[in-house]
C-alpha cells in the first residue's frame, strides 16, 4: 500500500464483510503501520474477530463528533505505542493474550473471539483484581454510549466464559451488585475466602 502521508486507514465493511476481512489481512500482511478502522453496521459487530487486525470500529450511524473522537483516540494510541517498548504479550496462568497480534490462547489453544470479546478480555486481564462496573467497561471497551445499554456487557461476559470453558470461566469473577473483575489463578483461593464478595457462577 503506497500511502506514505496517511494517518489512518478507514475501510468500509458495511456491504461485503468477506471482502473486508480479506482486505484487512492483506493490509496487515503488506506492513500497514497506521491505524486501521472499520465502518460497520450493527450486525457486522458479531462477525468481526480479532484476527481481522482492525484497530477500532465505527458504526455507520455514529455522529460526526463520535467519529472524530474515535479517530483521534486511535491515532493517539498508535503514537504512544511507537514509544512503548513494553511487551505486547500478556500472560496470566494458562491464558496468553497477544495484544499486537489480536490473539488469545488458553493452554496454547487459540480462542475464537469476536473483536469486542477480545477487547473486553484484554482490558480485564490488563487490570487483574480490579473491579469494574458495567458502565465503566462499556465506556472503556466500547468507547461510546452504546444505545443497547449495559446489558451488552453481561452478554459478552457470558460468551467469554463459555469460550473459556468450565475449568477457566471463573477467571472472570462477578462482584455482586457491582460488576466484574479478572481473577488471576494465583488469587483464586484468597478470593474464595472473602465473605460473599464474589460470585463466580456464570450468571451475571
- From the list 84, 48, 55, the residue with the least C-alpha distance to 71 is 55
Fold classification of 9-81 is Rossmann fold (3.40.50)
pTM: 0.56
**Which residues make up the CATH 3.40.50.2300 domain(s) of the chain?**
9-81
pLDDT tens, per residue, the chain with 204 residues: 454 467 899 999 999 999 999 999 888 888 788 889 999 998 888 888 888 888 889 999 989 988 898 898 888 887 776 545 455 788 888 999 988 788 899 999 999 999 889 999 999 999 999 999 998 898 888 875 556 677 889 999 999 999 999 999 999 999 998 999 999 876 554 444 443 444 443 344
Please tell me the distance from the alpha carbon of residue 138 to that of residue 128, in angstroms, as a whole number: 18
HEC-encoded secondary structure of the chain: CCCCCCCCEEEECCCCHHHHHHHHHHHHHCCCCCCEEEEECHHHHHCCEHHHCCCEEEECCCCHHHHHHHHHHHHHHHHHHCCCCCCCEEEECCEEEECCCCEEEECCEECCCEHHHHHHHHHHHHCCCCCEEHHHHHHHHHCCCCCCCCHHHHHHHHHHHHHHCCCCHHHEEEECCCEEEECCHHHHHHHHHCCCCEECCCCC
Please tell me the distance from the alpha carbon of residue 11 to that of residue 25, in angstroms, as a whole number: 12
- Quick: pLDDT tens for 34-73: 889 999 998 888 888 888 888 889 999 989 988 898 898 8
Please tell me the distance from the alpha carbon of residue 33 to that of residue 16, in angstroms, as a whole number: 24
Architecture of domain 89-199: Orthogonal Bundle (1.10)
**Which residues make up the CATH 1.10.10.10 domain(s) of the chain?**
89-199
Amino acid at each position: 500500500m503506497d500511502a506514505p502521508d496517511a494517518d489512518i486507514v478507514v475501510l468500509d465493511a458495511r456491504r461485503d464483510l468477506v471482502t473486508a476481512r480479506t482486505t484487512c489481512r492483506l493490509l496487515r500482511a503488506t506492513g500497514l503501520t497506521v491505524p486501521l478502522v472499520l465502518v460497520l453496521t450493527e450486525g457486522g459487530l458479531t462477525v468481526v474477530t480479532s484476527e481481522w487486525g482492525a484497530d477500532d470500529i465505527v458504526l455507520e450511524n455514529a455522529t460526526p463528533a463520535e467519529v472524530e473522537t474515535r479517530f483521534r483516540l486511535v491515532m493517539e494510541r498508535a503514537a504512544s505505542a511507537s514509544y512503548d517498548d513494553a511487551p505486547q504479550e500478556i500472560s496470566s496462568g494458562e491464558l496468553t493474550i497477544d495484544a499486537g497480534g489480536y490473539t488469545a490462547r488458553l493452554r496454547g489453544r487459540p480462542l475464537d473471539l469476536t473483536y469486542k470479546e477480545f477487547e473486553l478480555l484484554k482490558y480485564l486481564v490488563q487490570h487483574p483484581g480490579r473491579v469494574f462496573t458495567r458502565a465503566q467497561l462499556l465506556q472503556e471497551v466500547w468507547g461510546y454510549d452504546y444505545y443497547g445499554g449495559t446489558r451488552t456487557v453481561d452478554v459478552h461476559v457470558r460468551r467469554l466464559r463459555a469460550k473459556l470453558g468450565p475449568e477457566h470461566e471463573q477467571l472472570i469473577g462477578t462482584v455482586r451488585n457491582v460488576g466484574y473483575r479478572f481473577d488471576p489463578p494465583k488469587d483464586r483461593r484468597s478470593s474464595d475466602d472473602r465473605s460473599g464478595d464474589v460470585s463466580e457462577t456464570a450468571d451475571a
